[in-house]
Structure 1
Amino acid sequence: MFKRLFGQPAATPAKSLAMVRNITVGRTVALDPLAWRRLGADTHFTLDRDALVITAQGVVALDGGTFVHRFYTDDHVMLQAMSDDEAGAASYDFSLFTPWSSAYPPGERERRLWRDRLSEPRFQGAPEGLPEYPRFWFSDSEERQPPVTLWETIYDDREAAVPYARIFQTCMLYARDLAGGRELMIALEQEPKGGDVSHEIMIGIPLEMAEFSA
């Protein structure tokens, strides 16, 4: 079900899955729709339900002992949390993302142009039907910055015998302030082991702890 985004399974043994505020594969997350309705008509974030059935989850190990935990539905809605531990007990900085666009670059030229777009201080989203987004990472600089690279390991089984996939990602996070709050946007290149390279855009919102539960 995740082959379009994640490619074929890897064969590396896995640790037991993290659980962030009771969220893991097989659980349902209840959302407060006010989290995005408060942004009003100006937002590009849309979601047609207030419950997410989690069918896969990913983990990213960052430098300094910080982890990114991601929880996915079958239609690629993503709930994300930061944590100071791999088990997800010390979690914070929650956000919710929905897919906006997906494309497969035909060659290296298109991949280079995409990485160039991700290096600019502002993302020009007109080709994808989006407004301009200021960079959130490296927001204190107007200089070009290389996008962030990371590996995400994906699991679709709570027992976590083996990961479903390993994906190399080149990405940048953006944010724009609206009258009702902040809208996020992440643009990335995904390069799964055994799969095709794709360029993805996801629109997101920050989540308060009281706005979701499992």
Structure 2
Amino acid sequence: MFKRLFGGNDPAPAANRLAEVRNITIGRTVSLDPLAWRRLGEETVFSLDRDVLNISAQGSIALDSGQHVHRFYTDDHVMLQAMSDDAEGRESYDFSLFVPWTSAYPPGERERRIWRDRLSDPVFHGAAEELPDYPRYWFAESDAVQPPVTLWETVWDDRAATMPWSKIFQTCMLYARDLAGGRELMLALEMQPQDASGKTGETTHEIMVGIPLEMAEFSA
């Protein structure tokens, strides 16, 4: 999936309507098949206490390649993600589900630099976050230091809105580890939000743990 996220660009302009990916958009509910994560057994750290998601916000990322990333959020920051070749999400693929793991406010530039260095290494050592080690999924073909990916995400919290709720500049890297029952994902990122007025919010460091989803494992 995320291998196409090799670069970011400015946020896409507001469309007349928000994308719908397999009928998913703000205000809809998504039903999940719990076997999607239960099949990973006790090896996985991924956990979700429900099989229905109430979508209250959605984001979009326009890639230099012309492809689009569509993200759908619950109030407690569970994220369903899809790729597509169009802004409307008509042809979608590469689905994944992420839950938040940790969130922190770096106190200064030194901590931000340490975080970026961690995101540049071929393996993310997760002991400090009570996580296992994760090999890099993006740029997995190389063991060299690799700067993380940067991108802009435009986020909406109202389907009828004419302007987005916020834009978020992200510096991120995707990791994955193979388990007996499938693959577990981990997304580590620095987020710098900007509200509709252009005011920049506090920088945060986030970790999300996820799983790939098959098309048959969710519906709206």
- Cα distance in structure 2, aligned partners of 1:173 and 1:81: 15
Q: Is the 8 A contact 1:53 1:73 kept in 2?
A: yes
SS where residue 82 of structure 2 aligns? Answer: strand
- Cα distance in structure 1, aligned partners of 2:84 and 2:171: 21
SS where residue 167 of structure 1 aligns? Answer: strand
Q: Report whether the alignment pairs 1:161 with 2:181.
A: no
One-letter code aligned to 1:14: A
Q: Is the 8 A contact 1:13 1:162 kept in 2?
A: no
**Which residue in 2 is equivalent to 1:115?**
116
Q: Report whether the alignment pairs 1:50 with 2:51.
A: yes
Q: Report whether the alignment pairs 1:37 with 2:38.
A: yes
| TM-superposed deviation, 1:14 | 2.1
Give per-residue Cα distances to partners, 1:88-137, cap 9 Å, x unaligned: 00100000000000000000000000000000000010000001000000
- Cα distance in structure 1, aligned partners of 2:86 and 2:160: 19
Q: Report whether the alignment pairs 1:189 with 2:195.
A: no
Q: Is the 8 A contact 1:188 1:201 kept in 2?
A: yes
**Which residue in 1 is equivalent to 2:97?**
96
Unpaired segments ≥5 residues, structure 1: 1-11
- Cα distance in structure 1, aligned partners of 2:177 and 2:120: 17
- Cα distance in structure 2, aligned partners of 1:62 and 1:25: 22
- Cα distance in structure 2, aligned partners of 1:64 and 1:174: 21
Q: Report whether the alignment pairs 1:74 with 2:75.
A: yes
- Cα distance in structure 1, aligned partners of 2:118 and 2:71: 25
One-letter code aligned to 1:76: H
- Cα distance in structure 2, aligned partners of 1:13 and 1:206: 29
Question: How does the TM-score come out when normalised to structure 2?
Answer: 0.91
SS where residue 52 of structure 1 aligns? Answer: strand
**Which residue in 1 is equivalent to 2:141?**
140
**Which residue in 1 is equivalent to 2:204?**
198
Larger RCO, structures 1/2 (Cα 8 Å, 6+ apart) = 1
| TM-superposed deviation, 1:159 | 1.7
| TM-superposed deviation, 1:160 | 3.2
Give per-residue Cα distances to partners, 1:62-94, cap 9 Å, x unaligned: 111010000000000000000000000010000
One-letter code aligned to 2:39: R
Give identity over the alignment, percent.
Answer: 73
**Which residue in 2 is equivalent to 1:14?**
14
- Cα distance in structure 2, aligned partners of 1:100 and 1:181: 20
**Which residue in 1 is equivalent to 2:216?**
210
| TM-superposed deviation, 1:161 | 1.1
- Cα distance in structure 2, aligned partners of 1:42 and 1:135: 19
- Cα distance in structure 1, aligned partners of 2:13 and 2:60: 14
Give per-residue Cα distances to partners, 1:155-182, cap 9 Å, x unaligned: 0111231101000000000000001000
Q: Is the 8 A contact 1:17 1:160 kept in 2?
A: no
Unpaired segments ≥5 residues, structure 2: 1-11, 195-199
**Which residue in 1 is equivalent to 2:24?**
23
| TM-superposed deviation, 1:13 | 6.8
Number of aligned residue pairs: give it: 203
- Cα distance in structure 2, aligned partners of 1:173 and 1:62: 16
